[in-house]
Structures are given as structure tokens and as C-alpha cells.
Structure 1
Amino acid sequence: MPDSVAANLRLAPHALTRPFSAEQFSFATTHELEPFRGVLGQERAVEALQFGVAMPRPGYNVFVMGEPGTGRFSFVKRYLKAEGKRMQAPSDWVYVNNFDEPREPKALELPPGTAHEFMA
């Protein structure tokens, strides 16, 4: 960048700060705040996750990728737990021996949460 352009773009130190009053905050230290649980700057990723989870058809999957330590796994886990509480519990499935065709076990669909009773 030519020196004249750089000189015109140079900022004074006071222009690099934003003045604020501590009274405008309802807390004394940041230790009093709840941890941020969202995802900054990832609106499209959040929308894609919401779409993928809401899709009621088989064969739709959600693939999450990103840099380590960005909170993507924690966010997805929290989101899925919250959505799971809102959704109807899925059926339990168990496989039982097929005495006629031992290599082809039979799948039985049971009401949610009852498979452990069947196995007992």
C-alpha cells in the first residue's frame, strides 16, 4: 500500500476504543454471566441443522464439520437434546431368533421404552 494511502487510513488511538459506562451493565464481573450457548456467525449452519433435524423422511442425515475447539459438537448436542424432548419418542426395536431361517432374525417393533421388559 503506498505510504500516502496508508497515512490516510491511519487511525488515532482514541478511534480504536468504544467508550462505555460500567453502569450500563447489570453485572459487576463477567463471572456473574451465564456462558454463551449459541454459535457466533454460523446462521446458515444453524438453519441447516434445524432443517436436517426437522426433515421427517428417512435417508436425511446431518454432517457437521469445522475447526476443533469451535463448540460445534457442544452446540449440536445441546440442540439435539432439546429437540429430542419436544419430539415423540421413537419405537424400540428388538431382533429375535428366526427358527425357520436362523440367518434372518425377525425385527419386532415395541412401544417406546419397553424393549428392556421384553428382554428380561
Structure 2
Amino acid sequence: MVPHHPARDQIELANVLSALGNPMRLTIVRVLAETGERPCGQVGTYLGEGISKSTLTHHWRVLRDAGVIWQQPAGRENLLTLRKEDLDDRFPGLLDSVVAGIGDLAPGGPARRAPRTGR
């Protein structure tokens, strides 16, 4: 089965925001933003233990169908790549803002930031 990747002009803001509305998918985006193209299995290690392959597959599909990632077969694995250029063209600054708002990258999910104090 060939995965669906929307063309650049078919990427819709509502779909991107919906896909990014999940902490696990935000971590996936952060991993790809910081490390570049990665096999699915390597990205999965940043999400913690005990996550089933079917759950990971679901998250890859949601991100792919929204136009956030490319998913390309490479031997026995799929390579995941962030569609930064396409997203920046469609929604300038959105991806950078989202990535900047995610906590520091750590295995097991995004780190929680300490609340700001008013000074």
C-alpha cells in the first residue's frame, strides 16, 4: 500500500493543528526537527517503553496524512522526515513556533517546563 502524502498546496492548517494536538506526535515532530530523517524504529525509542507498533503506526499515519511528515520505504523500515520546507511555505513560522514551545527532548516524551513566575 502506498502511503498518502498531500501535495504542498493541499496541506490544510486545521489538519496540521489537529495532528499536532497530541503529546506523542509533538515528540515525534521534535525528534525529527532536532535529528533529521530517521527510521521509524529510532523515532519510537524517544517515546518510551511499552508503546505498541500499531499505536506508532497510527501516529505516523496521522502526521503523514496531515502533511507534517514524509514516510518513505527504505528496505525493511520506513524513513520519517519532517516536511519543514512545505510547512514553512504554507504556514510561515508555524513549525518553528511549535517546536520552540515543546519542552526539551528526552526519551519518554517532552520534558515539562517549569511554570513562569511573574517578574
Q: TM-score w.r.t. structure 1 length?
A: 0.25
Return the structure number with greater relative CO, CA threshold 8 A, min gap 6. 2
| Structure exhibiting the larger radius of gyration computed from Cα positions | 1
